[in-house]
Amino acid sequence: MMRWTLLGSGTSTGVPAIGCRCSVCLSSHPRNKRTRCSLWIQHQDRSFLIDTSVDLRQQALREGVERVDAVLFTHAHADHIYGLDEIRSYNFIQKTAIPCYGSGETLAGVKRAFSYIFSEAPSESAKPQMTAFPIAGPFSLFGLPVQPIPLLHGRMEVLGYRFGPAAYLTDCNHIPESSRAMLQGLDLLVVSAIGTRPHATHFNLDEALEVIRQLAPRRAFLTHLSHHFDYEKFPPSLPESVALAYDGLRIEIPLSGEETEAVAAHLLGRSR
């Protein structure tokens, strides 16, 4: 069994957006409060983060994220990485460096943004202890097979991730054909949909629904949501298998030993 918890389901500004007086930003409904996008994965006794959102501290306190064994980055935009300094708290508890994974380009972006973390220079103050591993293809995360999924976010190449029968694709507006082949037979798809209007770097609602129709996962959730989505009212026409994500959404994903081994064998075959 693998458990996913959506730590944040909001677009880069969060919802409410600072200074906005729209009905969603003024709504008191808890599911209209969206922190910045991130996913927490628990598998066996391990705990992984997809991205370190700028809201990581409050997300970790809210959901009880008490250890982090690895961080996987999708890309180096501010909303997805600016909580990285909070990893210090896990270093204090776990007393070990924490591996982080991402494409070479993403890790370079993280290192530019957090030069003090990756600097060799001695520091008087505590800083996060991280070890960066560039992703070259499928790999195993403490026994959990991981399939990185190349995507386009405007002109920027980003990574989505597939873990067994579940995939998480945020910040994208194009899925290359070669990546679609890696997204067949899904039980669960979490995909970003920023709003209802056309957008230069993100799928909007119609485009995300078309992706879901084509990939045909058993169930799907939309994330990276802006204030265009009122959880209470919108959108009435979603297909039955699709729902809006919300902060704190928990999803249990059955992952039989057999399934894990089959996926691992498949991934190893592919990586050769």
Using CB under 5 A, list all residues that contact Zn ion: 12, 20, 22, 25, 77, 79, 171, 227
Dist CA 129 CA 57 (whole Å)? 17
Which residue has tokens 């969206």?
34
Q: Which is nearer to Zn ion, 1 or 20 (CB)?
A: 20
From residue 72, how far is each of 110, 205, 250, 255 by CA, in Å?
12, 26, 19, 20
* Chain centroid to CA 51: 6
Q: What residues form DSSP beta bridges with 169?
A: 191
DSSP sequence for 74-88: S---HHHHTTGGGHH
Q: Residue 16 Cβ, how far from Zn ion at the closest point, in Å?
A: 6
Q: Which is nearer to Zn ion, 194 or 212 (CB)?
A: 194
Phi-psi region of 261 (alpha: psi -120 to 50; beta: other; left: phi over 0): alpha
Q: Which is nearer to Zn ion, 25 or 152 (CB)?
A: 25
Q: Residue 12 Cβ, how far from Zn ion at the closest point, in Å?
A: 5
DSSP sequence for 149-192: EEEEETTEEEEEEEETTEEEE-S-SB--HHHHGGG-S-SEEEEE
* Chain centroid to CA 242: 18
Amino acid, res. 85: D
Q: Residue 209 Cβ, how far from Zn ion at the closest point, in Å?
A: 19
Dist CA 145 CA 143 (whole Å)? 6
Q: Residue 229 Cβ, how far from Zn ion at the closest point, in Å?
A: 11
Q: Residue 37 Cβ, how far from Zn ion at the closest point, in Å?
A: 5
Q: Which is nearer to Zn ion, 104 or 143 (CB)?
A: 104
Q: Residue 80 Cβ, how far from Zn ion at the closest point, in Å?
A: 5
Q: Residue 25 Cβ, how far from Zn ion at the closest point, in Å?
A: 3
Amino acid, res. 144: L
Dist CA 1 CA 253 (whole Å)? 6
Amino acid, res. 224: H
Q: Which is nearer to Zn ion, 25 or 264 (CB)?
A: 25
Q: Which is nearer to Zn ion, 51 or 69 (CB)?
A: 51
Dist CA 33 CA 157 (whole Å)? 29
Q: Which is nearer to Zn ion, 16 or 165 (CB)?
A: 16
